[in-house]
Amino acid sequence: MGKRLPIFPYINFSEANLMIEITTFAFMIDQGTIERIMDAADIVETVQDFVVLKRRGVNYLGNCPFHNEKTPSFTVSPAKQIYKCFGCGKGGGSVNFIMEHEHLSYVDALRYLAKKFHVEIVEKEEDPADAEQRNRRESMLIVSDFARDYFSNYLLNEPEGRNIGLSYFRERGMRDDIIRKFQLGFCPDHKDQFTRAALKQGYRMEFLEETGLSIKRDDWIRDRFAGRVIFPFHNLAGRVIAFGGRILVSDPKQAKYLNSPESEIYHKSKVLYGIFYAKNAISRSDKCYLVEGYTDVLSMHQAGIENVVASSGTSLTVEQIRLIKRFTSNITIIYDGDQAGIKASLRGIDMVLEEGVNVKVVPLPDGEDPDSFARSMSATDLLAYINAHETDFIRFKTRMLLNESENDPVVKARLIIDVVKSIAVIPDNITRSVYIKECSKMLDVAEDILYTEVRKIKYKITEEQIVREKREALRESTQSSQRPVSVPLAANPCVTEEKALLRIMLRYFNNDLFKVENEETGQEEMVKVGSYVLSELEADNLSSVDPVIQLIFDELREHEHESLFNPERHFVQHENTQVSSLVSGLLVDKHIESVIWKRKGAFVEDEHEILFVIVPKLIEEYKLRHVKLLISALMGKISGLSSSDMEKILEYQAVITNLKRVEKELSKKLGRRAITS
């Protein structure tokens, strides 16, 4: 240890009695490398791995991955190299985006980007204790990478893998390019052969166990997937987060399919098999096919249909639907033609509708599953079949249930309620009324009866939803992931002025402002925007009650004399996500300066040319605000005193008189009449 450098000490804002705690971290990547990573990590390319972006003028727009939204408010600016969501307020640079999205630490986010943008990492020498500090999640991902490579190599190059695993895939008609693309593998059928190989390479038992790759009981160790062909599961960014294994011998004591257990990196309800390979095709075709198993996904890919994912290992969840919704609002469910498959697709439908997604169903012929079906015909025939048999959900459900009811009036009544339930969850009014019309025709029931039923069900759903939302809000408030930065005690009364000052410093920190006379030498010297603002703040001892803003002021001061310091990048990529969000907001928000300038009826054309006017005015605005606050605070104090405290009252009044003089002067400078009160 011993090399761990705290970036910030604990900072104590004595005036407001606020404490800000910044997690100290081990700085294991060399500063030059960090600069190179930040230069290389293009924001658009970084975000595009997770969000579909459409060009809008000079920016890109997409649906925010951090909150659920229907109209895109997530903006990415390639010029400024930042993202900003106008819905939930999150914002920052590429490093910050990866921290937030992948739940990585600052250092691990840098590692991620270094890998993605091929920047070689120069590490400061890292002793074993530092290595131990590394993010657990990243360690689990690294172990999973090793396992994927090991299994894949074993399948393709080792006799056992080739004879058993590879020949199994080939017998099923799987092409080699698909086997390689999906990184399929084979785990040796020798108790703990894989685990021993991993340990020998220096991977730790702890993470082999956590990922579920190895099972350990006392001193007995076994590979979870021994003797199985392996299907790696990828997250949106293409990292391996789990495995599925299929056994090839018939053994009633063992499950045919086995998945990795839930872990820090694998939450099965949030994962869709194949999403990494499907996401681009889904957004291009504006449609997602949903199948049941991973072999279904592989066969469809092989047939040339790539916009396909599987809800493998679970019945469909809301999180999975939301994952698809990032790329399209059209889901077509393709399920096995047997009774169980049909029942499963019926279960899925209401959930998909509830999320405001359009859903269609393709019933396959009896006894076929998407895997067998896709293998039995050409890609063109398969697509033709899908297009010809795609049925909207209401027809599908009604037809299925009508078959079951066989004109029994009691059964038919139940069927109507069932169909109405599905219609009631559709969020969009127009879509809902279209379905009611169609349903009325098919079931031979008057439309207004259906409307009444829909209303009844909707009312009940709303009530349940309120209860659910309350519960979720409560849970989220108790497990907030933000770092422990204290919230200001009261709203910041100077927020407009402070943001305007910050913005001007971020953009023009090292710009020349004007010449001033050096008091000691008598020489004229050029002063920079940043130095001028900071010295003005210092001279009057002005600070912010907002710990995030104050932290930025303090850091600017630390870098005041670095001519190459780039404050925009420094703060946009800051390891404190509150800092990066605030700064990104400032850099894209045109509103801030206009608030200040509208007051004076002035308007700005090329602000960098009139900095010598703007900057002193912003400072004066800020000082004026402080003076006013002080005056009203002192007046409040006086009103709380009794006549016996005359001495204190006189003292305060003297200060107030002085402050009012300052206020008048400042107001005059700013071209306004002093507000006398």
Q: Which stretch binds Zn ion (CB under 5 A): 15-23, 85-93, 485-493, 632-640?
A: 85-93
Task: Write the interaction track for Zn ion spanning residues 280-319; mark x where CB under 5 A is met and - where it is not.
Answer: ----------------------------------------
- Residue 185 bridge partners (DSSP): 230
Burial class (CB in 10 A: 0-12, 13-18, 19+), 441: exposed
Nearer to Zn ion, 66 or 612 (CB): 66
Q: What is the spatial distance between Cα 449 and Cα 457, in angstroms, rounded to a whole number?
A: 13
Q: Write down the least CB distance from residue 51 to Zn ion, Å.
A: 10
For 79, the 3-state DSSP assignment is coil
Nearer to Zn ion, 583 or 618 (CB): 583
For 57, the 3-state DSSP assignment is coil
Q: Which stretch binds Zn ion (CB under 5 A): 63-71, 515-523, 602-610, 611-619?
A: 63-71
Q: Which stretch binds Zn ion (CB under 5 A): 61-69, 166-174, 310-318, 440-448?
A: 61-69
Q: Write down the least CB distance from residue 77 to Zn ion, Å.
A: 15
Q: Write down the least CB distance from residue 97 to Zn ion, Å.
A: 12
Nearer to Zn ion, 86 or 451 (CB): 86
Q: Which stretch binds Zn ion (CB under 5 A): 60-68, 94-102, 386-394, 620-628?
A: 60-68
Query: Residues touching Zn ion: how many (CB under 5 A)?
Result: 6
Nearer to Zn ion, 52 or 208 (CB): 52
- In DSSP notation, 640-669 reads TS-GGGHHHHHHHHHHHHHHHHHHHHHHHH
CA of 527: how far to CAs of 358, 530, 541, 589, 620, in Å? 61, 9, 20, 27, 18
Nearer to Zn ion, 74 or 194 (CB): 74
Where does 483-614 show beta strands of DSSP type E?
Answer: 512-517, 524-528
Nearer to Zn ion, 66 or 385 (CB): 66
Q: Which stretch binds Zn ion (CB under 5 A): 65-73, 344-352, 364-372, 475-483?
A: 65-73
For 348, the 3-state DSSP assignment is helix
Q: Which of 4, 67, 456, 470 binds Zn ion (CB under 5 A)?
A: 67
Q: Which stretch binds Zn ion (CB under 5 A): 57-65, 152-160, 312-320, 431-439?
A: 57-65
Q: Write down the least CB distance from residue 59 to Zn ion, Å.
A: 15
CA of 91: how far to CAs of 32, 79, 111, 198, 435, in Å? 25, 15, 20, 39, 40
Q: Write down the least CB distance from residue 198 to Zn ion, Å.
A: 39
Q: Which stretch binds Zn ion (CB under 5 A): 64-72, 76-84, 447-455, 569-577?
A: 64-72
Nearer to Zn ion, 74 or 508 (CB): 74
Q: Which of 27, 36, 87, 597 binds Zn ion (CB under 5 A)?
A: 87
Containing H/E element for 358? Answer: strand 358-363
Nearer to Zn ion, 75 or 152 (CB): 75
Q: Which stretch binds Zn ion (CB under 5 A): 58-66, 420-428, 436-444, 611-619?
A: 58-66
Q: Write down the least CB distance from residue 65 to Zn ion, Å.
A: 8
Q: Are β-strands 228-234 and 220-223 bridged in parallel, bridged antiparallel, or unpaired?
A: unpaired
Nearer to Zn ion, 85 or 504 (CB): 85
Q: Which of 34, 43, 51, 85 binds Zn ion (CB under 5 A)?
A: 85
Nearer to Zn ion, 87 or 356 (CB): 87
For 56, the 3-state DSSP assignment is strand
Exposure letters 562-579 (e unless 16+ CB within 10 A, then b): eeebbbbbbbbbbbbbbb
Backbone angles phi, psi at 82, to 5 degrees: -135, 160
Q: What is the spatial distance between Cα 605 and Cα 439, in angstroms, rounded to a whole number?
A: 60
Q: Write down the least CB distance from residue 448 to Zn ion, Å.
A: 40
Q: Write down the least CB distance from residue 67 to Zn ion, Å.
A: 4
Please name which of 74, 71, 46, 50 lies closest in space to residue 60, comparing C-alpha atoms: 74
Please name which of 538, 543, 551, 532 lies closest in space to residue 626, comparing C-alpha atoms: 543
Please name which of 131, 141, 267, 133 lies closest in space to residue 207, comparing C-alpha atoms: 141
Q: What is the spatial distance between Cα 331 and Cα 495, in angstroms, rounded to a whole number?
A: 45
Nearer to Zn ion, 85 or 627 (CB): 85
Please name which of 348, 233, 234 lies closest in space to residue 291, comparing C-alpha atoms: 348
**86 near Zn ion, judged by CB under 5 A:** no
- HSE-CB at 294 with a 13 A cutoff on CA atoms is 28
**64 near Zn ion, judged by CB under 5 A:** yes
Q: Write down the least CB distance from residue 591 to Zn ion, Å.
A: 18
Q: Write down the least CB distance from residue 66 to Zn ion, Å.
A: 4
Q: Write down the least CB distance from residue 279 to Zn ion, Å.
A: 19
Containing H/E element for 580? Answer: helix 577-588
Nearer to Zn ion, 100 or 209 (CB): 100
Nearer to Zn ion, 64 or 290 (CB): 64
Q: What is the spatial distance between Cα 469 and Cα 478, in angstroms, rounded to a whole number?
A: 14
Whether the CB-CB separation of 338 and 366 falls below 8 Å is answered with: yes
Q: Which of 66, 451, 565, 612 binds Zn ion (CB under 5 A)?
A: 66
CA of 639: how far to CAs of 256, 291, 486, 652, in Å? 80, 73, 31, 11
Please name which of 238, 359, 348 lies closest in space to residue 287, comparing C-alpha atoms: 359
Nearer to Zn ion, 87 or 616 (CB): 87
**70 near Zn ion, judged by CB under 5 A:** no
Q: Write down the least CB distance from residue 584 to Zn ion, Å.
A: 12
Q: Write down the least CB distance from residue 280 to Zn ion, Å.
A: 22
Burial class (CB in 10 A: 0-12, 13-18, 19+), 494: buried
Q: Which of 88, 121, 215, 457 binds Zn ion (CB under 5 A)?
A: 88
Q: Which stretch binds Zn ion (CB under 5 A): 81-89, 184-192, 297-305, 367-375?
A: 81-89
Q: Which stretch binds Zn ion (CB under 5 A): 59-67, 304-312, 323-331, 380-388?
A: 59-67
Please name which of 270, 282, 286, 284 lies closest in space to residue 235, comparing C-alpha atoms: 270
- Point out which residues bind Zn ion (CB under 5 A): 64, 66-67, 85, 87-88
